[in-house]
DNA sequence: TTGATACTGTTCCATAAGGCTAAGTATCAT
DNA sequence: ATGATACTTAGCCTTATGGAACAGTATCAA
């Protein structure tokens, strides 16, 4: 609950860059290698890798290496934290300040 | 549509700090002066003001001065941009890559 | 008109972010 | 065994962030 805040720091920070948001968007279509992900960007690989590391650090993606290829996968559940924070805000300004704990501490369930 | 991205940069960046998220949370309960907002934080006023400026720059709050007091108000519609981006992501990984324009360019309507 | 209040403006500082190049390692293909 | 591929590591550079102190301005209250 204290670390909820620092997690949000990392998540929002990671999403505050267009390159990283684009990577998240791409990974939404399915896993991809670092090379594939980097291709669309006019940027040296080491620079691009920093973005990958930051996304992984924020928990927004997972990566694993097979041979010389590192494959990245999106971690959808982490975006739920953003969703949770938004719900929290909405709850506040709608006057429903109760039930906040639910948004904050548990992963949001498929809201269908 | 190009500036949609740089707007998101600013919004996510602004939300990537716990002080600023706390201010957003507080303003969700109603307008407040800079002094009131700053009170809970162990921070010099000029430092705190930087956060206010950043939030205003991102369009997340509006401020106006009456006499010597500057009052801040939340701009709920700006958080809708975050909501829109999230919807976009969800649309992508659910395979519905059509209709993206709608999420991107127009304010989301109350999704009741 | 004096003093307190509520910011503002300016400058400084340390660290982090985002980019680069150059060189290194580990696989895979031949 | 060699060369190409796919990252990695290590520095370096510039700008942005988040904090501080200190002095300044504009109100409001007495």
pLDDT tier, B28 (very low <50, low <70, confident <90, very high otherwise): very high
Query: What residue ranges of chain A have pLDDT lower than 50?
Result: 98-112
Asked if B9 CB < 7 A from strand D, the reply is no
Quick one: tokens of A95?
A: 């006057």
| Interface residue B57 vs chain A (CB under 8 A) | no
Collect all residues of chain A within an 8 Å Cβ-Cβ radius of residue B74.
93
Q: What is the mean pLDDT of residues B32-53?
A: 98
What confidence tens digit (pLDDT) does each residue in B61-82 have?
A: 999 999 999 999 999 999 999 9
What is the per-residue pLDDT for B33?
Answer: 98
What confidence tens digit (pLDDT) does each residue in B31-42 have?
A: 999 999 999 999
What confidence tens digit (pLDDT) does each residue in A77-96 have?
A: 999 999 999 999 999 888 75
Give the phi and the psi of residue A10 in degrees, each rounded to 5: -65, -40
SS3 (DSSP) at B96:
coil
Contacts of A14 (CB under 8 A, 6+ apart): A20, A54, A55, A57, A58, A60
| Interface residue A70 vs chain B (CB under 8 A) | no
What is the per-residue pLDDT for A97?
Answer: 55
- Tell me the pLDDT of chain A averaged across its residues: 87
For residues B105 and B5, the answer to whether their CB atoms sit within 8 Å is no
Angle at A24 between CA A77 and CA A16, to 5 degrees: 95
């Amino acid at each position: 609950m204290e670390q909820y805040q620092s997690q949000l720091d990392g998540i929002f920070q990671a999403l505050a860059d267009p390159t990283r948001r684009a990577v998240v968007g791409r990974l939404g279509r399915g896993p991809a290698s670092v090379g594939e992900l980097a291709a669309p960007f006019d940027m040296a690989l080491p620079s691009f890798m920093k973005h990958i590391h930051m996304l992984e650090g924020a928990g927004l993606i997972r990566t694993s290496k097979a041979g010389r290829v590192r494959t990245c996968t999106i971690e959808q559940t982490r975006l739920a934290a953003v969703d949770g924070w938004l719900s929290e805000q909405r709850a506040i300004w709608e006057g429903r300040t109760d039930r906040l704990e639910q948004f904050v501490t548990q992963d949001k369930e498929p809201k269908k």
